[in-house]
Structure 1
Amino acid sequence: MENMDWYAAKALLEWQLEMGVDEAMLDAPVDRFAAHEAEQEALKAQHAARAAAPGGGRGAAPVKAPEVDPVAEAGKLASGAADLGALRDALAGYEHCPLKRGARNLVFADGVAGARVMLVGEAPGRDEDLQGKPFVGRAGQLLDRMLAAVGLSRAESVYITNVLPWRPPQNRDPKPDEIAMLLPFLHRHIALADPDLLVIMGNTSCQALLGRRGITRLRGTWVEAAERPALPMLHPAYLLRNPQAKREAWADMLSLKSKLRALE
């Protein structure tokens, strides 16, 4: 490394970023989840040692901290949010999702709150995590072009959010318990934004709002979700990997445009 020139070092760093290494802190990797579990185990051992000590079992029984139901806690926080700003604050203060500890930013929303069209994506990627906005990477650029083709834009007529506000490690698929604990926030988000219709992009979004997966079968058919018309669509990231599917995506965009006219 000492003899490496500037250009080679820059190329190596860019390669590491492409592989998902976006933070360097120590010479060796730190597993924060394992550290948290070790801290909890240490606390349990400390309480057990106190109970086993002379006199430790006498007197009043030790008070156990009540276990928190993450879904119920999310429901309570979400229902208490009177507007979108309060909902964002409630999400920022929610401490029961492990994804929060590994993410750089909370990715809440983008676009025009109150727009007739609300897009629900899956989860932030690396670019979204860095910027704190949904759909800002290559998939987001493709989405903007798709919207523009039917006269829509996030700057004027579309509101965008995700099922998950925090990036899963290495962009893995969200786990069912992660979706479940964040679903109350999503439902409240939709209720407060109050769009005329929803566009549900990708399998994770369909799982969250429809309870079904299989986006290639679901896409293109209008359904109901969160008490309003909803159109499942292929995620732009899928279209980047499978350009031949852009024909179906174009048909769905035309269906969206037609539905908007019918609801006027």
Structure 2
Amino acid sequence: MPSSVACACVCSMVQQCCSTSYETASGRCILNKRTSPETETADNSNVMMKIPDSISNHQPKDCSDLPPCTKSGVFEIYPDGTNKIDLYCDMDTAGGGWTVAVGPMGNDNLHILTKARNYVMRFEMQDFENNTAYAEEYQSFRVNNEASKYTVSFTGYMGTAGNGFENNNGMKFTTRDRDNDLHMYHCGLGQQGAWWYNACSQSTLNGIYKPEGTTGAKIIYWKTWRNTTLKATGMKIRPIN
């Protein structure tokens, strides 16, 4: 699909976007704000929404600002209204509108995002038998600034994985070269992964990827759900209101 083609909803084998243009070169969905779309059937029998040429640029502060019909993909996000970052938007899980906290989403960007709105953080995990679970710290999830060493705060919990993040409330972010946890040892070095450790916590999604069944410290784990290493995990945020 050419990068110059504007689409609202295009059903095809390539990246699907709603009210966007798809750039094949970058793999990004370029969002535009348009009105009064018209339905048209393309030559290959796919359904396309034609949109008037009159547009105004829309700069979403997070993925919840995207139109409800938007398909999941990588979008340009403006967390503070000025600086632009490319982030993956999950528009399918639990109603969509989730900003995925991976890749270029560092603690600085999490701070910029979470200071502006009341957010929920959703932790997702999958074991090697493809069972899944989630944990949501569901009110006022915040990552403070660098001066606070990215202290995390939140209230409440809901989910199916158990609250493996409960003891991390109020903790600073620990890395291999910055020991900010409460343990007599260095959790970030011992676990070999950065996290908001307490001493040393019931969870870390930044451990080392290990084979199925591996136990111990240097793994990806969420101990209130599984005692062994996890196959896949995810972190994403969405405003509550």
Q: Report the TM-score, using the length of structure 1 for normalisation.
A: 0.30
Greater helix proportion: 1
Structure (1 or 2) with the larger CA radius of gyration: 1
- The structure whose RCO (Cα within 8 Å, separation 6+) is larger is 1
TM-score after normalising by structure 2: 0.32
